[in-house]
Amino acid sequence: MTRAKKGPQRDTGLEMMLRPCLEAVAKQSGIDKSLVQDIVIGNVLNPGAAATNARMAGFLAGYPETTCVQGINRLCSSGLQAVATVANAIKSGEISVGIGGGFESMSNGNMMDAVNPNLLGEAVFENEKAQNCLMPMGITSENVAADFGIDRATQDQMAVESHQKAANALKNGWLQSEITPYETIVKDKEGNETKVIVDKDDGVRPQTTLAGLSKLKPAF
């Protein structure tokens, strides 16, 4: 057996993102890892990631070979479906202990080539509902907004309030117990690498205003 050479992006794979979470689950719950019968992980953009990267993360986190792993792709509901799948398996008596979750790296995924239209049968393009499965999520959201009469101002207002609530939660430390610190490597524009600890949601923008959002050009 030959071993693949280590890639240039060290400690940045999906498995390295999931590993600390799986470690934290066992540590905080006090559960013996050997008792975990199944790990179900949702993932959308990376083919096989939930079954391969999740399996790798399980081993790196110290779970034995007897702990099975399965992957689920239900688009934006993948992580939620993974949790539901584990809960249902426990309720039905199929397993006694399981872990459900999800992981994603939008920056490393390419949503534009998820499906190659050239590899689809002609029948797909002759069936409106089947063809609509190729519609990008952004266009889908625009259609939903139009169908339910949700205008731009309403969406902007909700966005502002969402950032305010998140900022307040961060300020009061309400979210910190739910975040597992994660060490990774970031690159600047010159390609210089720096190790950083990710221990908070850096997407929160407390300075967001309704006036500021109204100036942004629509993405779709």
**Same domain (yes/no): 82, 30:** yes
**Same domain (yes/no): 20, 88:** yes
185: in domain: yes
123: in domain: no
**Same domain (yes/no): 100, 162:** no
**Same domain (yes/no): 74, 19:** yes
Element (H, E) at 20: helix 14-29
Q: How many CB atoms lie within 10 A of CB 45?
A: 16
Lowest-confidence segment of 8-22, 29-43, 61-75, 205-219 by average pLDDT: 8-22
Q: What is the DSSP letter of 204?
A: -
Q: What is the mean pLDDT of residues 187-199?
A: 88
**Same domain (yes/no): 95, 159:** no
Question: Would you call 177 helix, strand, or coil by DSSP?
Answer: helix
136: in domain: no
**Same domain (yes/no): 27, 102:** yes
Residue 67 has pLDDT above 90, yes or no: yes
Q: Which position has the token pair 């907004």? A: 145
**Same domain (yes/no): 93, 170:** no
72: in domain: yes
Select from 146, 159, 145 the least CA-distant residue to 214.
159
Q: Domain tally for the chain? A: 2
pLDDT at 5: 46
Q: How many CB atoms lie within 10 A of CB 207?
A: 8
7: in domain: no
177: in domain: yes
pTM: 0.82
* Highest mean pLDDT of the ranges 78-82, 101-105, 176-180: 78-82
**Same domain (yes/no): 86, 162:** no
115: in domain: no
127: in domain: no
| CATH number for the domain harbouring residue 60 | 3.40.47.10
Using one digit for the tens of pLDDT, what is the confidence trace for 91-112? 999 999 999 999 988 877 776 7
Select from 58, 76, 83 the least CA-distant residue to 68.
58
Question: Would you call 44 helix, strand, or coil by DSSP?
Answer: coil
pLDDT at 4: 45
Q: Final residue of a domain: which of 76, 109, 142?
A: 109
**Same domain (yes/no): 102, 175:** no
Q: Final residue of a domain: which of 49, 84, 109?
A: 109
**pLDDT band for position 49 (cuts 50, 70, 90):** confident
What is the residue range of 97's domain? 14-109
**pLDDT band for position 11 (cuts 50, 70, 90):** low
**Same domain (yes/no): 22, 86:** yes
Q: Final residue of a domain: which of 109, 137, 159?
A: 109
Select from 23, 7, 86 the least CA-distant residue to 59.
23
Q: What is the mean pLDDT of residues 59-81?
A: 95
pLDDT at 187: 84
pLDDT at 8: 47
Q: What is the mean pLDDT of residues 121-138?
A: 92
Rounded CA separation 157/23 (Å): 38
